Structure 1
Amino acid sequence: MLLFMICGAAYSAPIAGAGSSFAAPLYRAWSDSLPPQAGLSLKYRTVGSGEGQKLVMAHKVDFGASDISLPGNILDMEGLYQFPVAIGAIVVVINVPGVGADQMRLDGSTLVALFRGDITSWNDPRIRALNPDLRLPDLDVLPVHREEASGTSQVFSDYLRTQSPSWKPGSWGEGAEARGNDGVAASVRQSIGGIGFVEYAFARRNHLNTVKLKNHSGLFVAPETAAFKSSAYSADWQHTDHYAVSLLDAVGSQSWPIMSATFVLVPVHPSDQTTASAVKAFFTYGLRRGDKALRDLDYIPMPNDVKNKILAEWP
Structure 2
Amino acid sequence: MSACRKSAIYRTGYIAAIAVGLVALPIAIAQATGTTIAETGSTLIYPLFRAWIDAYAKVDPAVHMTAGATGSGAGIAQAIAKQVQIGTSDAYMSDNEAMANPQILNIPIAISAQTVQVNLPELRGRELKLSGPVLAGIYSGAIREWNANPIAELNPGVSLPRHAIVPVRRAESSGDTFIFTQFLSFSAEDTHNSWGNTVGYGTTANWPSVSGELTATGNQGMVQTVARTPYAVGYVGGSFQDDAAKAGLITAMLENQDGKFLLPTPATVTAAAAELTPRTPADERLTLVFAPGVNSYPLINYEYAMVAEQQSNQQSAQAIANFLLWCISPQGGSADTLLKPVHFIALPTSIRARSELQITKIH
TM-score (ref. length: structure 2) = 0.80
Query: Aligned to 1:17, which of 27, 39, 44?
Result: 39
Partner of 2:13: none
- After TM superposition, give the deviation of residue 25 of structure 1 in Å: 1.2
Kept in 2, the 8 Å contact 1:90–1:200? The answer is yes
The Cα offsets for residues 187-209 of structure 1, whole Å up to 9 and x where unpaired, read as 01111001000112212233131
Query: Aligned to 1:69, which of 77, 85, 92?
Result: 92
Is 1:34–2:79 an aligned residue pair?
no
Is 1:131–2:163 an aligned residue pair?
no
The Cα offsets for residues 254-281 of structure 1, whole Å up to 9 and x where unpaired, read as 1101111111111111123222222222
Give, as a single letter, the amino acid of the residue that structure 2 aligns with 1:290: G
Kept in 2, the 8 Å contact 1:102–1:211? The answer is no
CA distance in 2, matches of 1:28, 1:102: 33
- After TM superposition, give the deviation of residue 252 of structure 1 in Å: 0.9
Kept in 2, the 8 Å contact 1:102–1:222? The answer is no
Structure 1: where are the runs of 5+ without partners? 1-5
Structure 2: where are the runs of 5+ without partners? 1-27, 200-204
CA distance in 2, matches of 1:158, 1:37: 38
Give, as a single letter, the amino acid of the residue that structure 1 aligns with 2:315: T
Partner of 2:275: 234
Partner of 1:300: 345
- After TM superposition, give the deviation of residue 58 of structure 1 in Å: 0.8
CA distance in 2, matches of 1:301, 1:63: 19
Partner of 2:333: 290
Partner of 1:157: 181
Segment of structure 1 superposing worse, 90-99 or 234-243:
234-243
Kept in 2, the 8 Å contact 1:101–1:210? The answer is no
Kept in 2, the 8 Å contact 1:237–1:245? The answer is no
What is the aligned residue count?
310
Query: Aligned to 1:272, which of 313, 317, 325?
Result: 313
Kept in 2, the 8 Å contact 1:90–1:197? The answer is yes
- After TM superposition, give the deviation of residue 51 of structure 1 in Å: 1.1
Distance 1:101 1:84, change over 3 A: farther
Give, as a single letter, the amino acid of the residue that structure 1 aligns with 2:66: K
Segment of structure 1 superposing worse, 68-77 or 285-294:
68-77
Distance 1:257 1:37, change over 3 A: closer
- After TM superposition, give the deviation of residue 42 of structure 1 in Å: 2.1
CA distance in 1, matches of 2:342, 2:352: 19
The Cα offsets for residues 140-178 of structure 1, whole Å up to 9 and x where unpaired, read as 211100011101101110110112342114234431010
CA distance in 2, matches of 1:149, 1:139: 30
- After TM superposition, give the deviation of residue 11 of structure 1 in Å: 2.2
The Cα offsets for residues 43-91 of structure 1, whole Å up to 9 and x where unpaired, read as 1111111111111111111111111112567446421122101111111
Partner of 2:266: 225
Q: Secondary structure at the match of 1:213?
A: strand
Partner of 1:309: 354
CA distance in 1, matches of 2:126, 2:208: 24
- After TM superposition, give the deviation of residue 183 of structure 1 in Å: 0.7
Distance 1:284 1:8, change over 3 A: closer
Q: How much identity, in percent, do the aligned residues show?
A: 27
Kept in 1, the 8 Å contact 2:105–2:358? The answer is no
CA distance in 2, matches of 1:10, 1:232: 35
- After TM superposition, give the deviation of residue 35 of structure 1 in Å: 4.7
Partner of 1:180: 218
CA distance in 1, matches of 2:208, 2:67: 29
TM-score (ref. length: structure 1) = 0.92
Distance 1:121 1:72, change over 3 A: closer
Give, as a single letter, the amino acid of the residue that structure 1 aligns with 2:215: E
CA distance in 1, matches of 2:280, 2:269: 21
Give, as a single letter, the amino acid of the residue that structure 2 aligns with 1:50: G
Give, as a single letter, the amino acid of the residue that structure 2 aligns with 1:198: V
Larger proportion of strand: 1
- After TM superposition, give the deviation of residue 102 of structure 1 in Å: 6.1
- The two structures, once aligned, show a CA RMSD in angstroms of 2.0
CA distance in 2, matches of 1:162, 1:25: 29
CA distance in 1, matches of 2:353, 2:217: 35
